[in-house]
Amino acid sequence: MTESIFTTIKALTEINSPSGHAEKAIAYVKDEVEHLGYTTTLTNKGALLITVKGENDEAQKCITAHVDTLGAMVKEIKEDGRLALDLIGGFSYNAIEGEYCEIETSAGQTYTGTICLHETSVHVYRNNDDISRNIEHMEVRLDEKVMSKEDTEGLGISVGDFISFDPRTQITSSGFIKSRHLDDKASVAMIIEFLKVIKNENLILPHTIQFYISNNEEIGYGANASISPKIVDFIAFDMGALGDGQASDEYTVSICAKDASGPYHKVLREQLVHLCQLNKIPYKVDIYPYYSSDASAALKAGADIRHGLFGAGIESSHALERTHIDSIKATQALLQAYCLAPIQ
């Protein structure tokens, strides 16, 4: 199981899919689940719906995870041929300083580069550590012989082209996986693995479940449409945020009680906790102060649902992320227990 889930996570993280340009990652998931025999539907927004029939088709569940990631877009081609960038998603420039990246043109050409502070060299710029890492000072240094704006334009690069970050995925002998974009490709990989379990073990779900793979979560409106009126429970299957003052860690499943959008549904949260206790799944209940999810986006869009959130504990979210196989296992166990439990 360990090798299989890590292989799937690694395959997903290595597919460029910043919000607004997640088609390749959606196609990967679509191919994987259709190969297992599931029927899929693409929404107009480009999200993927996988509906698994259960004994009760009138009261349904939805579990959403997202394949879109943080990224950037070309804002300007500078006079020296380098690129100014504008961020996609909520993160800071210092989280990507020194990162290798890829720029994909509208014609489908891909170029590599490095995200740098303009005043990087300490041999030229004294006290460059005092310079703000922001849109004025951060840029992409292309791995091409360009000396001018015209040189870069000649490559086919233009304003609005997408910039993706090198995921740098590594799996350690101690059971960690560290990579960009574990948020939320780790959850998507766990859904794929659970769909395999359903088929291999001929599991019968008590309720029909719509697995909703969204593609715009990082910009706030992923799974907020195409929601069946039959859906009662709506789970955002996303990461647990770690840091000072947080209860969650890299070795348990994190259950969210509240985030920046407000409290999650009390009865549903209590059911998730009860399932952990009943099945001896290590868990932590937590509050994420600067966080929102596709479940809260669905509520804002007017969905009449009970919303919940749980997922693996992810260290250094929206930067160079990491989690441990123990957290993955606990999260997979709660996913299966919840899917096989009746709506309360």
Contacts (Cβ under 8 Å, ≥6 apart) of 59? 207, 230, 232, 343
| Cα atoms in the 13 Å half-sphere on the side-chain side of 219 | 15
Give the largest CA-CA distance in the chain: 69
130 annotated as ligand-binding: no
Helical packing angle, 325-339 and 182-200, nearest 10°: 50
CA dihedral 271, 215, 67, 197 (to 10 degrees): 50
Give me the sign of the Cα torsion angle 126, 131, 136, 142: positive
Triad 298, 303, 305: Cα angle to 5°? 95
> Is 129 known to sit in a ligand binding site?
no
Q: Say whether 55 counts as a known binding-site residue.
A: no
240 bridge partner residues = 313
| Amino acid identity, position 211 | F
Tokens of 71: 């990224």
CA-to-CA distance for 303 and 280, rounded, in angstroms? 33
Is 217 noted as a catalytic residue in this protein?
A: yes
Contact (CB, 8 A) for 113 and 103? yes
238 in a labelled binding site: yes
Is 326 known as a binding-site position?
A: no
Please tell me which residue in 99, 217, 250, 315 is annotated as part of the active site: 217
The annotated binding site is made up of 66, 183, 218, 238, 318
- Binding positions for Zn(2+) are 66, 183, 218, 238, 318
Catalytic residue numbers, as ranges = 217
